[in-house]
Amino acid sequence: MRSLPRVCGTLFLALVMTGCAVVPPPQGENILPLQAEMAQIRNEQQDLALQLNATREKIQEVRALVREQELSIAELRERMVAQKVTGYGEKAANVPETKALPPKDSAAPGSPTEIYLKAFADYASGRYQQAILGFEAFMEFYPGNYYADNAQYWLGECYYAQEQFSRAVEEFRKVAENYPQGSKTPEALFKIASALQELNRDADAEEALELLRRKYPDSAAAQKSLQAN
């Protein structure tokens, strides 16, 4: 006669084996709902990822616009106290500004504000080719607008960001040459020096920095150039 513990153990093992046998893994039609649910989850994750990327781009654009507005406010304050200069800094009395000229014709693709902000948003988001086209359109149709010197400066930044340093030097030089009263001139000179250094033209770069410090000693760009040394 079997002992009671052995009988109980045998019954327990039989129950366990029986229980496992009645719960088979999902197969065939049973797994289809799970696959559909997983596919739906994956689609939702992809949609969320796309929405997140779009939101990030919008945030970058908003930050860029806020930054540009902050710079514009600072530039307006500087313009109120800055002396008139010509060439690369020679003083000139009562030089009239031509910031309020109308567009050259009616074929402009938008208002100056629309074109400028769109181009700057493209630049801030790394869409440099679109930004170049936008700033060039702004310069073509609104060459006398108040922000023409800014547009010319950011055009140089587009090429600088793409490491097209020779072209960047050309565009930055136009800031100082075409907009001698513009507050972007000191920063343009600083970026000229930076681009020349990238081109291993150290002597020319130092000459640009010396010019910056001599003509605009109180500018933020001049102070930055001293700190860099």
Q: Is 163 helix (H, G, I), strand (E, B) or coil?
A: coil
> Is-contact 188 176, C-beta < 8 A?
yes
Per-residue tens of pLDDT for the chain, all 229 residues: 445 455 455 545 554 455 444 445 555 556 777 777 777 788 788 878 877 766 665 665 556 665 565 555 545 444 443 333 333 333 333 333 334 344 454 567 788 999 999 999 999 999 999 999 999 999 999 998 989 999 999 999 999 999 999 999 999 999 989 987 788 999 999 999 999 999 999 999 999 999 999 988 989 999 998 886 6
Provide the 10 A C-beta neighbour count for residue 156. Answer: 26
pLDDT recorded at residue 10: 54
Q: 126 — alpha (psi -120 to 50), left (phi > 0) or beta?
A: left
E strand spans, 80-193: 85-86, 90-91
Tell me the pTM.
0.57
Residue 123 amino acid letter: Y
Domain over 72-228 is classified CATH 3.40.640.10? no
The domain spans of the chain are 72-228
pLDDT recorded at residue 154: 97
> Is-contact 136 166, C-beta < 8 A?
no
pLDDT recorded at residue 128: 97
pLDDT recorded at residue 37: 75
pLDDT recorded at residue 182: 83
